[in-house]
Amino acid sequence: MLQLNVEMLKRVQGDPCRFDFLAELPPFELQGKNLSFPGPVKASLVVNSTGSALAVEGEVSGKLSLTCDRCLEHFDYSFEVPIKENYTRSTEGGGDEVVSFAGDILDITPEVIKSIILSLPMKAICREDCRGLCPSCGCNLNKDRCDCGKEDTDLRLSVLKDLIEKSSK
Ligand SMILES: [Zn+2]
Ligand SMILES: [Zn+2]
């Protein structure tokens, strides 16, 4: 969980508070897929008390385990997302732009996961030159070689040969 102890910001106003730490993030679901973090994420945040609200700004970086859309292998996707969010104590009520919280612990996990989801590419590809799976036999062309492509050309050639033989008759 990405939690900030903002107790001291209750008393001191005006002085921004820096938070640099590593934290474990829980797995989350996206489009029916369960996504998890292979290790802790790094948070570098500054929290400013504006009197009525706490303004959190900074970035969170780390790795997310994804499945390649082409070869279906797992790979670590590196992300670095900006965080900019305003929080207000629940007793003061929140507006559209503000997330409310209670107590001295500010849990920014939901907003961070939202930012990570927004940063994800439309298609998750393990590497730019991923060769994917063979459409005929399903083998991973990054690791294995198959003869499917070869047979295709052989087949086309033999059809051509047949045509030539027929037309010459
Ligand atoms: Zn791949
Ligand atoms: Zn094949």
| Confidence at residue 93, expressed as pLDDT on a 0 to 100 scale | 52
Residue located via tokens 């629940």:
90
| pLDDT band per the 50, 70, 90 thresholds, residue 13 | low
Which ligand is nearest to the Cα of residue 137, counting in written order? 2
Output the average pLDDT for the chain.
Answer: 87
Q: What is the 163 CA–ligand 2 centroid distance (Å)?
A: 27
| Confidence at residue 43, expressed as pLDDT on a 0 to 100 scale | 97
- Say if strands 74-89 and 98-101 run parallel, antiparallel, or are unpaired: parallel
Which residues, other chains included, contact 136 with Cβ-Cβ below 8 Å and sequence gap of 6+?
146, 148
The conformational region for residue 31 under phi > 0 = left, psi -120 to 50 = alpha, else beta, is: left
Q: What is the 149 CA–ligand 2 centroid distance (Å)?
A: 7
Q: Which range among 1-5, 130-134, 164-168 shows the weakest confidence by mean pLDDT? A: 164-168
Question: Tens digits of per-residue pLDDT, 102-124?
Answer: 788 899 999 999 999 999 998 99
Q: What is the 132 CA–ligand 1 centroid distance (Å)?
A: 6
Q: Where are the domains of the chain?
A: 3-119, 131-169
Residue located via tokens 């001191």:
12
Q: What is the 55 CA–ligand 2 centroid distance (Å)?
A: 54
Which residues, other chains included, contact 81 with Cβ-Cβ below 8 Å and sequence gap of 6+?
59, 60, 61, 112, 115, 116, 118, 119
**In angstroms, rounded to a whole number, what is the distance separating the alpha carbons of residues 37 and 27?**
7
| pLDDT band per the 50, 70, 90 thresholds, residue 156 | low
Question: Tens digits of per-residue pLDDT, 32-72?
Answer: 889 999 999 999 999 998 877 899 999 999 999 999 999 99
